[in-house]
Structure 1
């Protein structure tokens, strides 16, 4: 018992052992710091390359540039930290060659059970290669709708307008609606009372629409008054459409409504309001008495 205690004490106060431990910890710390610096410098270099490409006469779309930029940054990060992990294991005297050889055999066996992972990676490759959607696009995927924050080889991140981040495996993305590729159409319906002069209201709106394109750069062309869209109980509906830049139709629709409201007020054209007709039974009895009805 005493000899075992003496061995433990000797090891605890073994200066060479503590020197080796300190040296190993220092090496690991240096490896992590250097890896972090390489990742940071590599990302800066990648961004500078894309900035230089932006000045060249041959360019790809900004959407695709943002997607490739994010993808290359992720691949650089994974590669550097994988190399760092292998280096750290070598520092700890782990047989890296044997580990990698064993990992290859195990990976082959696991690969048959990780078909979903392989499917996600292949799907991610084709999403980027075919340019189905890019970072910054507003898309609808399944029940989620939002802006694409990041596209990786395995997952895609979508941010909804309320701030939630939805992470979707690429293999589960089967149908995509991309709202950011083509121009959008703003649709605005204006209700006009029956007792107003409809022709006057149409002329006032037409004159207003003539100058809106110069006022708002989001409009691609002059807004168009289509005419009467529907007939209600106390008013009729005029429909206006305007071609806008991608995803600008909501903003332009709000702008058109405001401009039309101010213009109609200026020309004294009132908005419709609900009318309520009340019948009084007492009034009917008084009328019968007045005319001698029973």
Structure 2
């Protein structure tokens, strides 16, 4: 059989395959080049401060048009009858793909919920389970989070959508609580003034709400004070550094004011010790 006769025999099939691929490419490009920019403009106009939502919807629009292009290309190429005549095969294939891709599909759906959540955005510092970090990017399947140790975690979207997420900086201020133990012979008014003076020295701490100091408990050998201050702009400030600096100033201020800091707790040990010595035989 010559090449010419072979091409003549499969000419119609080659035309159908070419039409399928051409339709698939055209519909996909139509969505990517025309619809995606339009969606981006509309969403950006309505949500100028939410780049997460804009980027995610752009990705979903592209994927949606690829998915929609497949049945359109199938119908245009005349493969509809072939597919309809293989219902059992198609059903089995659909089931297999569904079982194998259930995690992927779950992550895609979870990603939609995450990008639609107004309290979950790129740049947010979040805490969940035993992990924490700053959201850098929300993709179709995973969310990338940079930890305080400068590591990037690739977190499946389902993990974030099905667990409680804490966003300590969501309201623009972050409260720090410093636990201070002073002796029973300390003047509490003097200790309070010293702690408040230490708070006033750092411009990164907010004046509204004002710093507060309260007695929280009377221990066995110390009075416990709780100093509460608020970081004014936790998104730009290094919260750990602010906390450490405040604690250091509190210690220095208390020592300068001759306020006795409680000594380490002493523990009494009781018991019995028997010592026996064996003589030489």
TM range, normalised to the smaller chain? Answer: 0.5 to 0.7
Alpha-carbon spacing, 1:100–1:141, altered in 2? closer, same or farther (3 Å): farther
Q: Is the 8 A contact 1:224 1:241 kept in 2?
A: yes
- 1:263 CA displacement: 7.2
Shift of 1:221: 1.9
Asked whether 1:52 is paired with 2:36, we answer no
Q: Could you list the runs of 5+ residues in structure 1 that have no partner in the other structure?
A: 1-6, 56-61, 276-294
Alignment of 1:1-294 (within 5 A): 7-8=1-2, 28=21, 32=25, 35-36=28-29, 38-39=31-32, 42-54=35-47, 62=49, 65-66=50-51, 68-86=53-71, 93=77, 95-96=79-80, 98-99=82-83, 102=87, 106=91, 110=95, 120=106, 124=110, 127=113, 131=117, 134-136=120-122, 137-141=124-128, 145-147=132-134, 149-150=137-138, 157=143, 159=145, 161=147, 162-169=151-158, 173-180=161-168, 181-182=170-171, 184-190=174-180, 200-210=190-200, 212=202, 215-216=203-204, 221-227=209-215, 238-244=225-231, 251-252=238-239, 254-259=241-246, 261-262=248-249, 265=252, 269=256
Contact 1:158 1:166 in 2 (8 A): yes
The C-alpha deviation readout for 1:5-34, integer Å capped at 9, x for no partner, is xx345569x79x99x979x77995896488
TM-score, scaled to structure 2: 0.55
C-alpha deviation, 1:206, in angstroms: 1.5
Question: Aligned-pair distance for 1:188?
Answer: 2.2
**Structure 1 residues 131 and 224: alpha-carbon distance in aligned structure 2, compared to 1, 3 A threshold:** same
What runs of 5+ residues in structure 2 fail to find an aligned partner?
Answer: 265-281
| SS of residue paired to 2:193 | helix
Secondary structure of the corresponding residue to residue 169 of structure 1: helix
Aligned to 1:287: none
The CA RMSD measured in Å over matched residues stands at 5.8
CA-CA distance at 1:95 after TM superposition: 0.5
- CA–CA separation in structure 2 for the residues paired with 1:97 and 1:117: 32
CA contact (8 A) 2:146 2:152 kept: yes
Judged with a 3 Å threshold, the aligned counterparts in structure 2 of structure 1 residues 97 and 216 are, in CA distance, closer, same or farther, namely: farther
Distance 2:236 2:176 in 1: 4
Structure 1 or 2: larger helix share? 1
1:28-59 deviation per Cα after TM superposition (whole angstroms, max 9, x unaligned): 5896488357425544333322332257xxxx
Q: CA deviation at 1:262?
A: 4.8
Q: Report the Cα distance in structure 1 between the residues aligned to 2:81 and 2:24, rounded to whole angstroms.
A: 19
Taking a change above 3 Å as real, the CA distance of residues 109 and 263 of structure 1, as seen in their structure-2 partners, is closer
Which range is displaced more, 256-265 or 120-129?
A: 120-129
Greater C-alpha Rg:
1
Q: 1:26 to 1:100 in 2, by over 3 A?
A: closer
Q: Does structure 2 conserve the Cα–Cα contact (< 8 Å) formed by 1:209 and 1:222?
A: no
C-alpha change, 1:179 and 1:247, in structure 2 (3 Å) is farther
Distance in 2, matches of 1:71 and 1:88, equals: 26
**What CA deviation, in whole Å up to 9, does each residue of 1:164-197 have, x standing for no partner?**
1111437x95442332555542222356689987
Is contact 1:218–1:248 with CA below 8 Å preserved after alignment? no
* Shift in CA distance, 50/211, structure 1 to aligned 2, threshold 3 Å: farther
